[in-house]
Amino acid sequence: MTPANQSVARALQIMRALADSRESLGVREVARAVGVSPSIAQRLISTLADFGFAEQESSRRYRVGVGAFAVGNAFLSGNTLARESLPELQALAERHHLNSYLGVLRGRSIVYLAAFQSSGPIAIKSAPGAETYLHTTALGKAILAQMTLDEAMALLGAQPYRRLTARTKTRFAPLAVELRAAKENGYAISDEENLVGVYAIGASVRDASGATVAAISGALARHELSRAKLPGLCRLVREAAERISMRLGAATLPAQARNGLTQRRT
């Protein structure tokens, strides 16, 4: 492997630190995040600001600049997966009042590519580019469900898995039960396992080869959910994922997955 250019690597680390922070950062905070001296951090972030990838506020703190937005927007507009998914995500948010997300597998995490805010009470805190967990999210479970159980267990790594809420499954055995059901039904569930008070439904997206390339999910406040409402919401998310898959050239899902909706206890 060719050694990374140190200055480029540090500049990218700075961009990641700015993107991950909910507040603007001062030079010393940037230096600590990257592990360099404040003088080196100042030179790097000043260069990023010169090219529009960082912006300095009046407080002399820095945030992500419009240059980074332009690059990210170019990725979305030029990415077939994102382009074909966005109308479906927007419909889930606007017509059906579900916060909607698009995520892809990167390493052992899910990376958000897009998120749409609904009119519901759940505020979206996961920006495009942010990472989340496989074992706690409907996005992650939808992707894991398309693997063999051995593949899924190997990808998740050592047990116990990180606990985010009282409902998080930290062992593979109970998670495997859900993954089998998700594969059969065509959708996965996260019932307050990633965030307290949030219920999410996820479904995998496939390309022309039939390979799973992403997942979408819809989320709503747990208290808004009823037993009567759940099957319809699961169907909405699953069918939206099917339409995206077909736009990417995938064949329709097997009959058992299309007709496999089952009511779950709420």
- What mean pLDDT comes out for the span 173-192? 97
Q: Which residue has the higher pLDDT, 53 or 171?
A: 171
pLDDT in tens, 203-216: 999 999 999 999 99
Band (pLDDT 50/70/90 cuts) for residue 1 is: very low
pLDDT at residue number 253: 56
Phi and psi angles of residue 185, each rounded to the nearest 5 degrees, phi first: -85, -25
Domain limits, CATH 1.10.10.10, in the chain? 6-70
Domain limits, CATH 3.30.450.40, in the chain? 79-258
Q: Which of 237, 215, 236 is nearest to 109 (CA)?
A: 215
Q: Which of 96, 109, 102, 99 is nearest to 144 (CA)?
A: 109
Q: What is the mean pLDDT of the chain?
A: 88
* Distance of alpha carbon 113 from alpha carbon 128, whole angstroms: 5
Q: What angle do CA 178, 123, 34 make, to 5 degrees?
A: 90
pLDDT in tens, 136-160: 999 999 999 999 999 999 999 999 9
Class of domain 6-70: mainly alpha
- What mean pLDDT comes out for the span 239-247? 96
* Amino acid identity for residue 105 in this structure: L
pLDDT at residue number 4: 65
**Per-residue pLDDT for 266 more than 60?**
no
- What mean pLDDT comes out for the span 63-79? 71
Tell me which H or E stretch contains 217: strand 212-221
CATH numeric code, 79-258: 3.30.450.40
CB-based contact 26:63 (threshold 8 Å): no
pLDDT in tens, 76-134: 555 789 889 999 999 999 999 999 999 999 999 999 999 999 987 777 777 778 889 99
